[in-house]
Structure 1
């Protein structure tokens, strides 16, 4: 029975049982399904660029893969759409013989990289992606992106973390006394 031809299945016949042989190839494949469940995912059908190195060793074929992909999602601070480069590398031994405790094996002269690529990419996705490291997020009052409206962050303050406090100063006189008294009414 021939396997369905997955682009992630790589023929290794030319390096099998020839310790010391090495082959390198570059593959461009499309993500067969969405990778990731969080705020940044690699969408189904988006391109994965693979740099693959196959090295023949006694036990099997040692496979090293570098994956370049693009994750899409939302900035966890300001919710703007973002695309983030994802670069990940892994190495795995595909063993020749069953029966041993190898997780991956050479099957029908092929190695199947898909589960490894999926796991590696998903682990590399940022849990809380940001559009830029210093993204100031959203204005707590208006909901506007602070980065779009620099007027909300006064020049002399400089630090966006103080922007939220700037609004309190004006209302301090009438607001503070009432706020302090509030909790005792219960």
Structure 2
């Protein structure tokens, strides 16, 4: 899953997440350290073909991005005991979702995000999926999705309680790509 280079010529290595990646992920995505730690533990244990793939991007050994592929409808469910489970009750086995697509701020616009997205698209094809969907409130991510070939199919207004955290109060834009 490697071979791409940043605009500065540095090699981008894309690989599955593994135990011990928590500290590196804290530097490129939001959430408390405990939330990131819990997500890594959960995705490492749930990873599997046709179920969940959590990829990370590295440059010179430093984690600089992340992206996940799950079946549409699958989602994390937190039990009363605090354990995270993958709920698969209403999945569509033909459609995947590109989620948690994040690149560390100082590595954005260097090809890391597109390298991660291409890896997720390749994995979705390997799973035999017919379509890949995603959504974002971030205008730069929406532009990147269009450049990657995703087709916009709708927008939702940002909920009032989230409008202060959304860049410019943007809409949530929904995309799909037939594979």
Q: Normalising TM by the smaller chain, what interval?
A: under 0.3
Greater strand content: 2
Greater helix content: 2
TM-score by length of 2: 0.23
TM-score by length of 1: 0.22
The structure with more radius of gyration: 1
